[in-house]
Every structure is written in structure tokens, then in C-alpha cells.
């Protein structure tokens, strides 16, 4: 136990172990255990010992643990996604009127421009963390090898939304709930957006909401709006959930 603790202290003091010749600092659990055994020159280091070290390195901010995948350099992960959503890509983001929808080819190009030259396998592993672990983006339901990044979508409601939503309300009763919040951390709704996107078929979506449909009869509208309170000079956020149909 004491030896393991000493090794953890040494790794925290000298984090050069985070640098390697891999094109991507993301390992599976087994790969990470093998890395520890090789780095510490201790082939007898047990899985329990590896897990103990991993937990302390995570708690110290040196690792990100996504169960099946471990990110050796958290800052690297942040920098890769920053290269995708950077305002430097504004013209590219608006290409073909598909604001907020980015192709795999665009992702690979932006990563390479920012010094992240990844193999196809590594790029897919990185995107899987963005989509499945961070909820920062989601695969497009129709366009193959395209991804929706909520934070890059248009803020305005789609023009077609009101017609589809009003038509559904005319056919059946509408029920809903509104949550008013004094503060909403940046990016929180992106995660709600991605999670909700997986619930059912999405008809319309924009930065602050989406309209889902099930069996062409049941509809669900999820939307966030800001509510300016001029009297107290503050902004409130309303998250509205409404549903029609059975």
C-alpha cells in the first residue's frame, strides 16, 4: 500500500507520463493498467492497485475516467473540441446553410489544422467520447457521418415549427410544465438537448429547443427561453416541456 502511495505522489509531482508518442491520449481500462505496469516497471501491479492509482489521479485532475475509456490528458480533450467549435470556423459552420451540423470530413480537417493529426480509429474514439460521454454533440439522424453540435445551431426557432406544433395542438389536448431558473450554467441545455434527441424521432431542432414525434400522433416540445426582469435587472431562464397526443 505504501509503495503504491509513493508511486502516486511521484506521478503527481512529475506528470511527464502524460506525454507519449500516441496520436491520442485515450486508453481502454486494460491498456491503462498495462501502461501503469510498464511505466512503473512493476509487472506484478494488480488490477486493484491500478484502480487505486487511477482514482487518485482522477481526483487530482490528471485523468478523466469514462469507465471503458480513460483520458490521459484532460486539457487535450478540451482543446480538441475547442478546435471544432472555434469562431475561426464561422464560415465553415455556415456552409450550405447547415449551421451547427458538421461532417466527419470537417472534423478531421479542423483537428489537423490545429495540430491534431489522428488516425481514423483514433478520430472515431474521440468522437465517441464527445457524443456518448460528454453529450457535446450527437450523430445526425439522417445525414450519414454528420454530427449536430447544439452550441453552433441557429438560435431562432425554425419557421416550420409553429405550423407543425399548432397543428398537433389542434388535434389533441396540450399539457406541459415550466421550470423557471435564476441561473443556468453554460452548456447545461446542450446535454439536455442531446439526451432528449435520443428519446424519439426529431422533427425540428434549433439551439434552444427541439420538437419530437412518436407514431405521428404524439408530440413533445422542449424549449429554453430567457425572461428579462427589468425591474430587478436580472435574467431568468424558463425550461418548457409540452406534449400532445396519447
Ordered by where they begin, the domains of the chain are 2-71 (no CATH), 74-152 (1.10.10.2200), 159-244 (3.30.310)
**104-to-74, 145, 160, 238 alpha-carbon distances in Å:** 22, 5, 28, 34
Cα 6 to its chain centre, rounded Å, is 35
Instruction: Report residue 214: phi and psi, to 5°.
Output: -130, 125
* Per-residue pLDDT, 72: 92
Q: What is the distance between the alpha carbons of residues 154 and 204, in angstroms, rounded to a whole number?
A: 12
* Per-residue pLDDT, 235: 76
**104: its cell numbers:** 466527419
Q: What is the distance between the alpha carbons of residues 131 and 149, in angstroms, rounded to a whole number?
A: 10
**How would you class 29 by CB atoms within 10 Å of its CB: exposed for 0-12, middle for 13-18, buried for 19 or more?**
middle
Using DSSP bridges, classify how beta strands 209-214 and 218-229 pair: parallel, antiparallel or unpaired: antiparallel
Which residue ranges in the chain fall short of pLDDT 50? 2, 230
Q: What is the pLDDT of residues 202-220, one digit of tens each?
A: 989 999 999 999 887 889 9
* Per-residue pLDDT, 107: 93
Comparing C-alpha atoms, which of 240, 236, 237 is closest to residue 221?
240
Amino acid at each position: 500500500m505504501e509503495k503504491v502511495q509513493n508511486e502516486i505522489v511521484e506521478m503527481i509531482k512529475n506528470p511527464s507520463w502524460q506525454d507519449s508518442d500516441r496520436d491520442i491520449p485515450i486508453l481502454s481500462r486494460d491498456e491503462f493498467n498495462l501502461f501503469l505496469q510498464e511505466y512503473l516497471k512493476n509487472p506484478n501491479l494488480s488490477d486493484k492497485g491500478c484502480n487505486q492509482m487511477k482514482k487518485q489521479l482522477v481526483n487530482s485532475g490528471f485523468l478523466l475516467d469514462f469507465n471503458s475509456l480513460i483520458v490521459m490528458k484532460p486539457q487535450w480533450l478540451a482543446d480538441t473540441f475547442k478546435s471544432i467549435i472555434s469562431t475561426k470556423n464561422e464560415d465553415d459552420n455556415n456552409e450550405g446553410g447547415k449551421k451547427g451540423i458538421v461532417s466527419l470530413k470537417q472534423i478531421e480537417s479542423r483537428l489537423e489544422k490545429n495540430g491534431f493529426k489522428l488516425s481514423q480509429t483514433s478520430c472515431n474514439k474521440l468522437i465517441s467520447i464527445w457524443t456518448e460521454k460528454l453529450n457535446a454533440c450527437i450523430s445526425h439522424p439522417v445525414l450519414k457521418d454528420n454530427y449536430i453540435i447544439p452550441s453552433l445551431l441557429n438560435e431562432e426557432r425554425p419557421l416550420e415549427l409553429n405550423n407543425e406544433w399548432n397543428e398537433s395542438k389542434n388535434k389533441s389536448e396540450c399539457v406541459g410544465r415550466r421550470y423557471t431558473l435564476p441561473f443556468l450554467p453554460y452548456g447545461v441545455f446542450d446535454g439536455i438537448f442531446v439526451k432528449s434527441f435520443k428519446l424519439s424521432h426529431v422533427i425540428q431542432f434549433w439551439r434552444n429547443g427541439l420538437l419530437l414525434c412518436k407514431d405521428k400522433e404524439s408530440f413533445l416540445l422542449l424549449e429554453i427561453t430567457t425572461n428579462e426582469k427589468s425591474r430587478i435587472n436580472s435574467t431568468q431562464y424558463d425550461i418548457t416541456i409540452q406534449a400532445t397526443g396519447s
